[in-house]
Amino acid sequence: MDIFNTFIELLRQTGNVTKGQGDIDESSPRWLLKQEVPKVVKSINRQLREKSIKTKVGAFSVLKELVVVLPDCLADQFGSLVPGIEKALNDKSSTSNLKIEALAFTRIVMASHSPSVFHPYIQALSGPILSAIGDRYYKVTAEALRVCGELVRVLRPNFEERSIDFRPYIIPIYKAILARLANQDQDQEVKECAISCMSLVIATFGDGLQRELPSCLPILVDRMGNEITRLTAVKAFAVIANSPLRIDLSCVLDHVVSELTAFLRKANRALRQATLGTLNSLVVTYGSQIGSSSYETILAELSTLISDGDLHMAALALELCCTIMVDRRSVKNVGLAVKQKVLPEALTLIRSALLQGQALQALQKFFAALVQSANISFETLLNSLISTAKPSQSGGLSKQALFSIAQCVAVLCLAAGDQKCASTIEMLKGILNDDSSTNSAKQHMALLCLGEIGRRKDLSSHIQIENIVIESFQSPFEEIKSAASYALGNIAVGNLSKYLPFILDQIDNQQKKQYLLLHSLKEVIARQSVDHTGESELQDSNIVKILALLFNHCESEEEGVRNVVAECLGKIALIEPNKLIPALKERTTSPAANTRATVAIAIKYSIIERTGKIDAILYSEISTFLMLIKDSDRHVRRAAVLALSTAAHNKPSLIKGLLPELLPLLYDQTVVKQELIRTVDLGPFKHVVDDGLELRKAAFECVDTLLDNCLDQVNPSSFIVPFLLSGLGDHYDVKMPCHLILSKLADKCPSAVLAVLDSLVEPLEKTIGHKPKSDAVKQEIDRNEDMIRSALRAIAAVNRISGSDYSMKLKNLMSKITATPSLAEKYNSVRSE
């Protein structure tokens, strides 16, 4: 068994090393392993012929791990393993453990290989598998039922073609599963596996089981009534409803729909989630057989689920509403129920600052389906959405809510057709052209709506729309200028050939509007990098012009302009890494510090979580950018630290090999440097300015990220003293991340903290004893309270270390905390968080 365990561990390590890699190249461990598969199988076949049960169990364990690491590796070898599987399942001397291992291997190999691999061996395998379903030990039965589910898929992988005659196997499989399904007195795992397996059998072979369905389906309905098997039974009906065979459910459909509707009121979240999915499938397949009264009840229940309290549930509920509206648009009662019950909740949800992702997409589909169902007029819906955007008595809407409303307006316009869309655009232009209009909220909304419509539709037929939008750059309100910039960029996305040259020309010629125009350009570039993982609509000539313009603005004195330029460069690097990375690398040696800082920030924006073609190029070049941490200019050093922090968070593999060289440089940025502290004479008093504060804060935050993702590369002993110790006594902005770092080190590297614990107590004690000045404003008092609570969290983490009670200084500090009522209350509060 030891050799088997060693081989299994080796396979797991091989899988971990190559995790996330696509094709297997000839130098990879997986490719080398694949060449040895025939030898491995030959050796395992010898072990399967041994008498030792432990040896056979180990052999099947190795096979399982082999298939996990190399799916489809046994396509040519499976036939030689069939006798071993048969013997393990049929032999009277086989133990339950051996049967379970043999069945688990069979299930995994069937799931990971082409069905045609197993067709020659169905007759040999089906008998032992069905016999195992009747085994007395529940774990063997449950595993056999899972294997049977895979066997069903193998028998009929394609409903159009018949690659094997599966008919002789239908009834034996059905009867074996029914015996377990009908039996109430058995383990829950077996019950659930029997339900799932029977649903697969009905969905796959239902056209050959018409006589059996009236006796089988009521059993599944009955299992929906049992709280233990309810969730599995709900999912089972989704499988059946999704079958292309359109299984006849007429004998139980009304009962199933009624039960499912009632489940929407249950507290069990997983049950409600599964119920919504099953109802959706039933409406798609059997919508015409469901009565209008049932739809009214379903819609009434759905309305209670549409809120920002559970956005995922709200998304599923809205998707079901859309399905009902599309499939049953001719039913008058459905339209009325949607209008009265669901629409008010949707209009409330759209005002939420939390709305995003799947829920927002579902809400957009809902409004599109609503206008297409013709139950509510386009004008009514448009007015409802726009009036929702008006500020209420409790205050204005959040930025996210305004964007959500604008997106829904855009989708609504496109769904209503070109004529309605054109009239809406003219109405929105009218709001912007109206000089007498003093309603900034109305203009703000109009700009956002134009941007969202323009992103989805070419607006070049609306003459001078770009000039009308750019006029809003003159507004005295910042939110309107920002919305105009957003609108112009998104309108350009709808017709790059017309509007992109306009934006580039304006950036060159309009110095005062440069920042806003760069934001418009950023929208164009960002949409290309997000919407197109591979090809971009930006032509090479456009990219050349954009790069020339952006590099010209790298030296801008305005930090805001440089940040936008950096973000644009980073996003273009995602689209054209072969052009951008060398161009950025060249500028790391620029004599202008602003250019070097902009380049480092650009790299930060190019390091995103998802994999892309930029990764291979970045891997070999990123050291050049991160080594700017040694730069003479503090702004450049901070930009490099931010890029390192982003890499550690999103793609730690890029930087792990560089950390031995980078960490000492990073730690150096956490030290207070006297040359960066200056005194400003303000007449009657002097003010001390610490220019290194932001850099120190960024450096400690980067260390915090490294502790999360690259802990194996960090030596905490060399960092805690003197660097963390210095940070614990630094400015408020530095102390906060230091407290978090100390808490993590206490949890992950307790021995390193314990070794220097006495020296850490003093700065923590000073922090919790700090009192603001008598004339301090509320903001300063609140900041001090936050700092004390942060320090107490760190103290609580340190106090949990085994052996910390040997530190007299910590003991005295804890005594002081418990003896001070205000501190004791805060400490107990943070400890219970």
- What the block records as the tokens of 172 is 């034996």
Cβ–Cβ contacts within 10 Å for residue 541, how many? 9
Question: Could you state, in order of their start, the residue ranges of all structural domains in the chain?
Answer: 733-832
Residue 395 pairs in a beta bridge with 392
| Predicted pLDDT at 17 | 46
Give the per-residue pLDDT at 331: 64
User: Which sign, positive or negative, has the C-alpha torsion 23, 28, 29, 33?
Assistant: positive
pLDDT at residue 534 is higher than 50: no
d(CA 730, CA 753) in angstroms, rounded, equals 19
Mean pLDDT of the chain: 88
Predicted pLDDT at 437: 54
Q: How far apart are CA 600 and CA 694, in angstroms?
A: 16
pTM: 0.81
DSSP 477-509: -HHHHHHHHHHHHHHHHH-HHHHHHHHHHHHHH
Please check whether residue 606 is in contact with residue 570, taking contact to mean a CB–CB distance below 8 angstroms: yes
- Give pLDDT, residue 817: 92
Peptide bond into 722 cis (omega under 30): yes
357: left (phi over 0), alpha (psi -120 to 50) or beta: left
Q: What is the mean pLDDT of residues 728-746?
A: 94
* DSSP per-residue string spanning 543-575: HHHHHHHHHHTTT-S-HHHHHHHHHHHHHHHHH
The percent of residues in the chain predicted with pLDDT above 70, rounded, is 94
Tokens 């219970």, located at residue: 832
For 225-257, write each residue's pLDDT tens digit.
Answer: 999 999 999 999 999 999 999 999 999 999 999
d(CA 520, CA 751): 52
d(CA 488, CA 466): 7
Residue 599 has pLDDT above 90, yes or no: yes
Q: 177 or 328: which carries more pLDDT confidence?
A: 177
Which of 18-32, 317-331, 359-373, 692-706 shows the lowest per-residue confidence on average (mean pLDDT)?
18-32
pLDDT at 548 > cutoff 70: yes
What pLDDT score was predicted for residue 799?
Answer: 92
pLDDT in tens, 81-122: 899 999 989 888 889 999 999 999 999 999 998 999 999 999
Q: What pLDDT score was predicted for residue 18?
A: 47
| pLDDT (tens digit per residue) in 283-316 | 999 988 988 889 999 999 999 999 999 999 999 9
Give whole-number Cα distances, 702 to 185, 355, 610, 639, 738, in Å: 58, 30, 21, 12, 11
pLDDT band, very low/low/confident/very high, at 438 (cuts 50, 70, 90): low
Write the single-letter amino acid at 5.
N
Is the pLDDT reported for residue 512 higher than 50?
A: yes
Coil, helix or strand at residue 689: strand
Tokens of 720: 């805690």
Q: Name the band, by pLDDT with cuts 50, 70 and 90, for residue 645.
A: very high
Let me know: does 794 contact 743? Beta carbons within 8 Å.
yes
Amino acid sitting at position 674 = Q
CA nearest 574: which of 595, 543, 596?
543
Alpha-carbon span 742 to 538, nearest angstrom: 47
Convert the pLDDT of each residue in 751-779 to its tens digit.
Answer: 999 999 999 999 999 999 988 888 888 89
What's the confidence (pLDDT) of residue 27? 59
Q: Which two tokens stand for residue 777?
A: 């404003």
Compute the residue count for the chain: 833
Under the banding of pLDDT at 50, 70 and 90, the label for residue 700 is very high
The mean pLDDT of 799-816, rounded to a whole number, is: 91
Amino acid (1-letter code) at residue 476: P
Q: CB 426: neighbour CB atoms within 10 A?
A: 12
By the 8 A CB rule, do 405 and 350 touch? yes
